[in-house]
Structures are given as C-alpha cells and as structure tokens.
Amino acid sequence: MILLSIDPGTRCAGYGVMIREGKRTRLVDWGCWSMSGRKSLIQRVTDFHRFFKDKIEEHNITSLAIETPYLGKSVATYGKLSYLRGILYLLSGQYDLDLYEYSPRVVKQAVTGKGGASKEEVAALVVQFFKGIDKDGPLKDDTTDALAVGLCALWGGQPSTICRQLSL
C-alpha cells in the first residue's frame, strides 16, 4: 500500500506519503503545502487539485486518507474545507484509489490510545514514530495531523500495539 494522507486546508495543507511493506511503514514524503491568501478561492482549489494530482502520480499512490472536519466556530471555513474534500474524492475516483476517512477522535484514539488527546500529544507520538522527521525543526500541526491520519488508516482505525509502546 502506498498511502497519501492529507490534512486539507485553504492556506496550508499537511500531507504525508507512507509505504506499507509487511509490518514496516516507511515515510517517503511529508510537509505542509502553503497556498497564498492573496489568491482567490478558485485559484487555491485549482492549485490544491494540481498539487495532490502530482503527488498521486509521482508516488504511484494506491490509497488516500483524510480526516473528517468538524463544524467548529466558522461555517464558512467548514464550507471551504468541503471544496477541498470534494477534490480529494474526485482524485480518488479518477485514480481508482481507496479512500479512508476518520473523525479527529478516531485518529487521536488510534495514534495515542486516547480519543481526547491534545494536538501536542498526537504530534509528539508521530515524531517519535517517524524518528528524525523533525531534524530541520518542529513540524507544523497540519503536517503531524496528516501523518496521524495516515497512521490511523494503516492501523485500520484501531490503536496499534506500537502506539501503546510509544505512549508518553
């Protein structure tokens, strides 16, 4: 399985590309792709599509994993995230990819063993699991969130024995 996990955002989209080989997971690409706030929403959605289409083709992706957004304080933000999720559904269909989608609570449960874990707890375990990914400095929350979603997908949405061993 070659998985592309994404934390969609209209300004910054976290992502990670993981390869599952037997019981081993390799992280081959990760980051936070930034979009200019000066561009129109149409331009950002188009750029988002192009960026992730290129990632799918570059890494021969077989599966996508995303986190379901929750309706927070801003209905407008939720609506804009829906456009990006629609793009990911479209790419999944165009490239015949398996699509995994998890709630934030399920992701936190899978990675930390606690559904109510903080972003800091999730990030610490992701960095610990993928040793050395923070060698150039702290990772953005969008990146660690995307990597956590990917681990959740690889573990079938269930806490793994690895997450219990890494627990802080």
Write down the catalytic residue from 67, 101, 121, 141. Answer: 67
Distances (CA, A) of 115 to 5, 146, 164, 166: 19, 16, 13, 16
Distances (CA, A) of 53 to 30, 126, 141, 152: 15, 25, 23, 22
Report the C-alpha gap between 148 and 11 in whole angstroms: 20
Write down the catalytic residue from 7, 47, 54, 101. Answer: 7
Active site residue 142: yes
- One-letter amino acid at 66 equals I
Report the C-alpha gap between 133 and 156 in whole angstroms: 23
Active site residue 96: no
Active site residue 134: no
Enumerate the active-site residues: 7, 67, 142
